Amino acid sequence: MKITRVEVIPLHLPEKRDIADSSQDAVIVKVHTDEGIVGIGEIDSHPPIVEAIVEAPMSHRDSHGVAELLVGEDPFDREKLWQNVYKKTTHYGRRGVAIQVMGGIDIALWDIMGKACDKPIHKLLGGRFRGKVQAYASALFPEDPREIVKMIVGFVEKGFRGVKFGWGAFGREGGRDIELVKAAREAVGQDIKLMVDAGEQWDASTAIERARELERYNPFFLEDPLSPDDIDGYAKLARATALRIAAGACAHSS
C-alpha cells in the first residue's frame, strides 16, 4: 500500500469573531492510498497555515512541505514517516503548526492501519482499559454571571455531569474571576464537576493567589493558568495549591 495524496479540507463558520473560541474553524485531513483506503485526521490549528505547510514545495533539505514527504510511502511506516517529516520541517517547524499538522497526519495513518486490518485502533495500540469515558460540557464564561445558571440548566438537561467554563470574561480582574466561579459553583451544586480554564492569562504569582481563592469553590481542576513555556511557574503553582492543575493544551513538542 502506498500513499497517493494528502487532502486538506478547511472548515469554518461564515463569520468569525475575535474571541477565544477555536471551534470557529478546523481542518480535516484525508490521506489517500492506492488501495482505496482513506485515513481521516483532524488538525486544530490555523487552516490557511495548515494548507501552506501540507502543500508547500521543497525549499531545501530541511524545509519541505508535508505532502511531498508522504506521497509514495507506505502508511504502515508511521514512525519512520513521523521522524522524516519532523526532520525535514526543521527549518520552519519544531513547535506550533508543523507539529499540529504531523499530529493530524498521524491520526490519519492510524485510521488507515485500522481500516486495513479491520480492527479498532485501540486493538492496534494494545487494547482498551475502559469501556466509556465521562464527557463534560465546555463553554466560555459569559459577561453576566446570571447567564451561567441558564447555561448550566441546559447542560444538565442534556445529561452532562461535568461543566467547564473558561476564557470569555475570565482573567480580566481578580474579583470578577472569583464572582464568575462562585456563580458557576452555586449553579451546579456539589454533585456536578466544575472545571475552570484560565486561558494562559496569569503569571505564577497571580496564579497562586487566584488558585488559593478558588479552592473554596472546589473546582475539579484549574486548566492552563500559565503560558505553556512557564514550566518553573507550573512547578511553583502545583506546590502552592491543593487544586489539580491541568496543562499542556498548547505545548507542541519541545
- Amino acid letter, 241: T
In the chain, the DSSP E strands lie at: 3-12, 25-33, 38-43, 137-140, 162-166, 193-197, 221-223, 245-246
User: In degrees, to the nearest 5, what angle opens at C-alpha 180 toward C-alphas 177 and 184?
Assistant: 140
Among candidate residues 124, 148, 163, the one where a domain is terminated: 124
The pLDDT tens digits of the residues spanning 4-28 come to 999 999 999 999 888 777 788 999 9
Among candidate residues 124, 155, 189, the one where a domain is terminated: 124
| Summary mean pLDDT of the chain | 92
Identify whether residues 87 and 112 lie together within a single domain: yes
Among candidate residues 78, 94, 124, the one where a domain is terminated: 124
- Let me know if residue 90 belongs to a domain: yes
Q: Which three cell numbers stand for residue 197?
A: 480554564
- Let me know if residue 150 belongs to a domain: yes
Q: Is the pLDDT of residue 246 over 90?
A: yes
Identify whether residues 147 and 68 lie together within a single domain: no
Identify whether residues 143 and 119 lie together within a single domain: no
Q: Is the pLDDT of residue 231 over 70?
A: yes
- Amino acid letter, 90: T
Q: Provide the CATH number for the domain around residue 160.
A: 3.20.20.120
Identify whether residues 116 and 7 lie together within a single domain: yes
Q: How many domains does the chain have?
A: 2
Nearest to 226 by CA among 202, 206, 254: 202
Identify whether residues 155 and 61 lie together within a single domain: no
Residue at grid coordinates 511531498 = 68
Beta bridge partners of 27: 10, 43
- Rounded distance, CA 149 to CA 132, Å? 28
How many Å separate Cα 59 from the centre of its chain? Answer: 30
- Let me know if residue 129 belongs to a domain: no
- Mention every residue, 6+ apart, whose C-beta is less than 8 A from residue 224: 166, 197, 198, 199, 200, 246, 247, 249, 250
Identify whether residues 154 and 205 lie together within a single domain: yes
Identify whether residues 54 and 143 lie together within a single domain: no
Helices (H) and strands (E) in the chain, counts: 9, 8
In 134-177, the DSSP E strands lie at: 137-140, 162-166
Q: pLDDT at position 171, please?
A: 78
Residues 59 and 17 sit within 8 Å (Cβ to Cβ): no
Identify whether residues 148 and 47 lie together within a single domain: no
% the chain with pLDDT above 90: 72
- Let me know if residue 131 belongs to a domain: no
The pLDDT tens digits of the residues spanning 77-91 come to 999 999 999 999 999
Identify whether residues 14 and 114 lie together within a single domain: yes
- Let me know if residue 158 belongs to a domain: yes
- Let me know if residue 238 belongs to a domain: yes
Identify whether residues 110 and 222 lie together within a single domain: no
- Let me know if residue 143 belongs to a domain: yes
Q: Residue 133 gets which letter from DSSP?
A: -
Span 209-221, average pLDDT: 95
- Let me know if residue 251 belongs to a domain: no
Identify whether residues 13 and 78 lie together within a single domain: yes
Q: Which three cell numbers stand for residue 90?
A: 526543521
User: In degrees, to the nearest 5, what angle opens at C-alpha 79 toward C-alphas 56 and 227?
Assistant: 70
Q: Establish how many alpha carbons lie within 13 A of residue 115's alpha carbon, considering only the half-sphere containing its beta carbon.
A: 17
- Rounded distance, CA 196 to CA 138, Å? 10
Q: Is the pLDDT of residue 254 over 60?
A: no
Residues 169 and 195 sit within 8 Å (Cβ to Cβ): no
Domain of residue 194 covers: 137-246
Identify whether residues 120 and 155 lie together within a single domain: no
The pLDDT tens digits of the residues spanning 112-168 come to 999 999 999 999 999 989 988 899 999 999 988 888 988 988 998 999 999 999 988
Q: Provide the CATH number for the domain around residue 54.
A: 3.30.390.10
